[in-house]
Amino acid sequence: GNVSSVKRQLAQLFELSLRATVPDEPDIVPLVDSCNEKSGVKHGDYQCNNAMVLWAKIKGKKTEFRGPPAVGQAIMKNIPPSEMIESCSVAGPGFVNVVLSKNWIAQSLLRMLIDGIDTWAPQLPVKRAVVDFSSPNIAKEMHVGHLRSTIIGDTLARMLEFSRVEVLRRNHVGDWGTQFGMLIEFLFEKFPNPEEVNEAAIGDLQAFYKASKLRFDSDTEFKQKAQQAVVRLQGGETRYREAWTKICEISRAEFHRVYERLGVQLEEKGESFYNPYIPWVLEELNNKGLIEESEGARVIFVDGVKIPLIVVKSDGGYNYASTDLAALWYRLNEEKAEWIIYLTDVGQQQHFDMVFKAAKRAGWLPVDDSLYPKATHVGFGLVLGEDGKRFRTRSTEVVRLIDLLDEAKTRSEAAIRERETARNWPEEEVKKTSEAVGYGAVKYADLKNNRSSNYTFNFDQMLSDKGNTAVYLLYAHARICSIIRKSGKDIEELKKNGKIVLDHEGERALGLHLVQFSEVVEQACTNLLPSTLCEYLYNLSDIFTSKFYSNCQVIGSPEETSRLLLCEATAVVMRKCFYLLGVEPVYKI
């Protein structure tokens, strides 16, 4: 069975206490938080912050209390007896501080080791979610922005899946639109014989796109043909349909190579999928009186935005927005998703803002954002080169993702071959480790930043074994594994017969951080911020080394069994973090 997070368990205790303290106020929600060392002296591990707010609520009424500290005292007194709690105190204007029992922490850790870390899965208020991520465009470049979307989206999906949410991982590929007329017409020109069309012949689809665009812009006759081609494609003419399919297939093969390297699962439901739904979704919006005429186009006006959302262009064609409205409708009504999450760069914020507002006007989504179903746009910043400008390489305008991943792997392989310890590794091991470290470094460098800021892509930095990098963390994990190996003890045996004791300050600090894993993942899911998890992981590794390992001898000490179990718990939690971040763990260095 699932174990609630420490925070949730304490909140339950405080809920009971609040009921007893103010029986006339049954709706008070307990406000429990872990104590933050940075904010000064720590009076406990957790605190309940209800007293002040509660005082403000009851002071006008007949009450026995005189001020928030007295309310705090009463809340403390009314906490039901619990083996979780070692001691409590009231500080300042009524904060109730809780010191957790170290025995309880130790037992929670041992339970987790026996029952598995999945029993620490957070509880979220949704059962099914759509994560719309990666979503490159056919024949256009799959650029570093799409890499960010892929990496961040995959992590969010993994965290939600761990929290027992059914996630529909959607690749909203740009596979529809006017560019196809031009591409198809160009294809017919270059390959009169359709048999000859394949990836090898076309080579670089981006170059193909550029060449056809050049032709489109310079030749009016071609332009007209291309425009007719769009109509013929949308009308379903076989020859056009087949050419479109071919172009999509070639693009898809390239996308897949990236996903395979990154270990990312996605289900493609491209823009074309929603095309048949557009007419009657717009019909519904029209019946609700949302659609207006503006300069020949059909548009929806929404609150707080001056320009309208165009849903039918003046030439009668549909666009990105009409597709997104149809997709949102489909996800809510056909797929019954309660939370729909979109990952793109912040540049598309206004687009999604308008689509969601239109959906609220239509009554598809509740106006109150704290209610479900809910749609959320997760925007992220640009990837910058070291010159502070948009990331590009010298030779080509855009960075090919495959080349980038190749380089990360090559560099990490070179670093591994230089390590004394890796001298006699089998070739297979070197390859595997350099992939894990190289791709892990690229992912982690992205995820550790607050996603809304721009970040500078720097191979030397991300592949450094010092500081907050994947390399440092993977090696920290490998070192813990080697402590366990060196002990020669069978961990399964220790789990069955051993005990965890947290008498040393360093052991307790590590144990406390470990049992907070669940609530950190919950917070990362709620705020859709993978950086929260990275921070937790980095702190874990730091606490392990600086507080625990440098003060507490493991092998050969009287506490060896307990400390080996603590090492194992740390390694298990680290591996789960790696898994959620899409990073492959390393066991040897």
> What span, in angstroms and rounded, lies between the C-alpha atoms of 469 and 323?
39
Does the protein bind ligand ARG through residue 174 (CB under 6 A)?
Answer: yes
Find, among 139, 417, 125, 158, the residue nearest to 262 by Cα: 158
Task: Give the β-pairing of 339-345 and 128-132.
Answer: parallel
Does the protein bind ligand ARG through residue 17 (CB under 6 A)?
Answer: no
Beta strands of 426-535 (E only): which ranges?
A: 455-456
Does the protein bind ligand ARG through residue 172 (CB under 6 A)?
Answer: yes
Query: Which positions from 23 through 82 interact with ligand ARG, judged by CB under 6 A?
Result: none
Beta strands of 237-305 (E only): which ranges?
A: 267-268, 291-294, 297-300
Between 135 and 518, name the residue whose CB sits nearer to ligand ARG: 135
Measured in whole angstroms, the distance separating CA 499 from the mean position of its chain's CA atoms is 35
Residues 6 or more apart in contact with residue 299 via CB below 8 angstroms: 291, 292, 293, 308, 309, 310, 311
Does the protein bind ligand ARG through residue 342 (CB under 6 A)?
Answer: yes
Stretch near ligand ARG under the rule CB under 6 A, chosen from 130-138, 284-292, 310-318, 368-376: 130-138
Stretch near ligand ARG under the rule CB under 6 A, chosen from 51-59, 84-92, 128-136, 484-492: 128-136
Mapped to the 3 state alphabet, what secondary structure does 375-394 carry? EEEEEECCEECCCCCECCCC
Stretch near ligand ARG under the rule CB under 6 A, chosen from 96-104, 117-125, 133-141, 199-207: 133-141
Does the protein bind ligand ARG through residue 433 (CB under 6 A)?
Answer: no
In the set 137, 155, 487, 531, which binds ligand ARG (CB under 6 A)? 137
Least distance in angstroms from the C-beta of 243 to ligand ARG: 21
In the set 324, 435, 446, 519, which binds ligand ARG (CB under 6 A)? 324
Task: Give the β-pairing of 95-100 and 267-268.
Answer: unpaired
Between 174 and 530, name the residue whose CB sits nearer to ligand ARG: 174
* Residue with the CB atom nearest ligand ARG in the bound state: 135
Beta strands of 156-231 (E only): which ranges?
A: 166-171
Site size for ligand ARG, by CB under 6 A? Answer: 10
Task: Give the β-pairing of 95-100 and 85-91.
Answer: antiparallel
Between 320 and 472, name the residue whose CB sits nearer to ligand ARG: 320
Between 34 and 322, name the residue whose CB sits nearer to ligand ARG: 322
Backbone angles phi, psi at 47, to 5 degrees: -140, 150
Does the protein bind ligand ARG through residue 171 (CB under 6 A)?
Answer: no
Residues 6 or more apart in contact with residue 246 via CB below 8 angstroms: 187, 194, 197
In the set 32, 75, 120, 132, which binds ligand ARG (CB under 6 A)? 132
Torsion of CA 395, 400, 401, 407, to 10 degrees: -30
Find the farthest-apart pair of alpha carbons in the chain and give their distance in angstroms, rounded.
Answer: 91
Does the protein bind ligand ARG through residue 141 (CB under 6 A)?
Answer: no
Between 324 and 507, name the residue whose CB sits nearer to ligand ARG: 324
Binding site for ligand ARG (CB under 6 A): 132, 135-137, 172, 174, 324, 327, 342, 344
